Amino acid sequence: MSISAHDERQTFKGRRILVGVTGGIAAYKSAELVRMLQKAGADVHVCMTEAATKFITPLTLETLSGNPVRQNIWDLRGDSSIAHTEWGRDMDAVIVAPATADFLGRLANGLADQLLLNVLLASRMPVLLCPSMNDLMWANPLVQQNVERLAELDRFRVLSPGVGWLACGVVGAGRMPDPADIVDAVARQLRDNDLEGQRVLVTAGPTREHFDPVRFLSNPSTGRMGFALAYAAWERGAEVTLIAGPTSVPAPTHVETRHIGTTEELLRAVSEELPRCNLLLMAAAPVDFRPEVSHEHKQKKGSGMSAVALQPNPDVLKAVAELEHSAFVVGFAAETQEFERNAVQKVRRKQMDLIFVNRVGAQAASTGFSSTTNAGAIIDSDGRLIRQVELGPKVAVAHTLLDEAIRRMNR
């Protein structure tokens, strides 16, 4: 399950999305894009330019979307004599992926010699443009002028192409973003952006305290809950900074990420970022102790090391309570027993605004550290149980928690 979990959440249920495909080599990726949107509940319709049909067949996109593919202005299919202006008006959003240099130029100049251009000119729905082309073409000032002209209009969002191997055999900027990233961008575009203008700081993952360069004290946190929170806040329009401990799970691509190793580094990063943030979500699982001595070189088996003396690490949540800031603070408690009682004590002791408590350990496979799902309870600063959160993908749990945090921040 990906962090954004669109399939499980059915993010686009009840939404009609038009995918415009133009004649670029990345057109093969549009098949995957259509499939992803359809699996996430969208009613997907496809409009192709004539050049696009040289790269991928309409049959493929028709089969994947479950709807007839439209290609030309003169093909009215008997449903309307003015289909070129009316068809597509009831769509919730349009994605053009890939968008060729040629198509961007025509659109920026208000031309209407293709069905897709007619549909876009004669409607008002939001449009996500995903340019994809050769790196020199993308860097060309004429193409850039067209892109800038489109991006100036509120209605158009341009998802800049990525850097990577291009079909022409060079590495450069011009690659169409991954379909998964395009789907996330549409989810953000369609969602009520109730965190727009807010700066959100999220901590995620474990910390590591080294005995020597190859051995450390840590915990099984994967960072998934914090990553889900960072993604969910981004989906709601926030500007997000993520502070992530070492984990093999990839962090969400849309947010700025600072990587840390130890609990002290985590505290330092939080202290630096916090003053400019409105909301702090602390889902990291910092290690509470560190070895008194951290050896510079690997300790050999026969080195006589039989016990490791530990010293306490700074308490990050407590330290945050002592910092000067105006952020709304949400903490996490992972408990193996008496989980609500422990959380009530923690929320009071560490002066948080809300706390989310979930069960971890051997009896909690679906809510534990490495799980992709979670469930638990939200408790307020007075120790009152606000609500139980039922089992779901971590990003769904993150949205429920954000609903409660936003409601209280706006009071």
Ligand X SMILES: Cc1cc2nc3c(=O)[nH]c(=O)nc-3n(C[C@H](O)[C@H](O)[C@H](O)COP(=O)(O)O)c2cc1C
Do 62 and 32 meet the contact criterion of CB atoms below 8 Å apart? no
Scanning 22-30, 236-244, 302-310, 351-359 for contacts with ligand X by CB under 6 A, the matching segment is 22-30
Scanning 18-26, 31-39, 151-159, 401-409 for contacts with ligand X by CB under 6 A, the matching segment is 18-26
Q: 207: burial class by Cβ within 10 Å (0-12, 13-18, 19+)?
A: buried
Do 14 and 89 meet the contact criterion of CB atoms below 8 Å apart? no
Residue 49 makes contact with ligand X by CB under 6 A: yes
Scanning 98-106, 144-152, 181-189, 375-383 for contacts with ligand X by CB under 6 A, the matching segment is 98-106
d(CA 66, CA 19): 13
CA distances in angstroms from 103 to 51, 111, 125, listed in the order given = 10, 9, 18
Do 305 and 382 meet the contact criterion of CB atoms below 8 Å apart? no
Contact with ligand X (CB under 6 A) among 43, 102, 353, 404? 102
Contact with ligand X (CB under 6 A) among 38, 118, 132, 313? 132
CA distances in angstroms from 318 to 322, 329, 339, 350, listed in the order given = 7, 11, 20, 5
- Residue 72 Cβ vs ligand X, minimum distance, rounded to whole Å: 11
Residue by residue, DSSP assigns 136-192 as: HHHH-HHHHHHHHHHHTSTTEEE-PPEEEE-TTS-EEEEEPPPHHHHHHHHHHHHS-
Extended beta strands in 38-126, E state: 43-48, 93-99
Instruction: Decide whether 103 or 231 has the Cβ nearer to ligand X.
Output: 103
Q: Site for ligand X (CB under 6 A): how many residues?
A: 15
d(CA 128, CA 93): 8
Residue 409 makes contact with ligand X by CB under 6 A: no
- Residue 147 Cβ vs ligand X, minimum distance, rounded to whole Å: 12
CB neighbourhood size of 173 (10 A)? 17
Positions 335 through 374 that interact with ligand X (CB under 6 A): none
Scanning 67-75, 96-104, 295-303, 304-312 for contacts with ligand X by CB under 6 A, the matching segment is 96-104
Instruction: Decide whether 159 or 200 has the Cβ nearer to ligand X.
Output: 159
Contact with ligand X (CB under 6 A) among 7, 32, 35, 51? 51
Do 293 and 212 meet the contact criterion of CB atoms below 8 Å apart? no
Six-digit token pair at 60? 């493929």
Scanning 7-15, 23-31, 239-247, 324-332 for contacts with ligand X by CB under 6 A, the matching segment is 23-31
- Residue 120 Cβ vs ligand X, minimum distance, rounded to whole Å: 13
Is 168 assigned a catalytic role?
A: yes
Residue 138 makes contact with ligand X by CB under 6 A: no
Contact with ligand X (CB under 6 A) among 52, 112, 129, 147? 52
Instruction: Decide whether 100 or 146 has the Cβ nearer to ligand X.
Output: 100
d(CA 9, CA 5): 6
Residue 136 makes contact with ligand X by CB under 6 A: no
Contact with ligand X (CB under 6 A) among 5, 12, 17, 22? 22
Question: Which SS3 state, helix, strand or coil, does residue 204 take?
Answer: strand
Residue 117 makes contact with ligand X by CB under 6 A: no
d(CA 149, CA 5): 34
CA distances in angstroms from 330 to 68, 79, 203, 271, 353, listed in the order given = 47, 53, 11, 16, 6
Of 47, 130, 168, 277, which one is the catalytic site residue? 168
Mask of contacts with ligand X, 26-45, x by CB under 6 A?
x-------------------
Residue 235 makes contact with ligand X by CB under 6 A: no
Dihedral of the alpha carbons of 272, 252, 357, 320, in degrees to the nearest 10: 0
Scanning 20-28, 71-79, 264-272, 294-302 for contacts with ligand X by CB under 6 A, the matching segment is 20-28
Contact with ligand X (CB under 6 A) among 1, 7, 25, 295? 25
- Residue 151 Cβ vs ligand X, minimum distance, rounded to whole Å: 17
Residue 73 makes contact with ligand X by CB under 6 A: no
| Residues forming the active site | 168
Binding site for ligand X (CB under 6 A): 22-26, 49, 51-52, 100-103, 114, 132-133
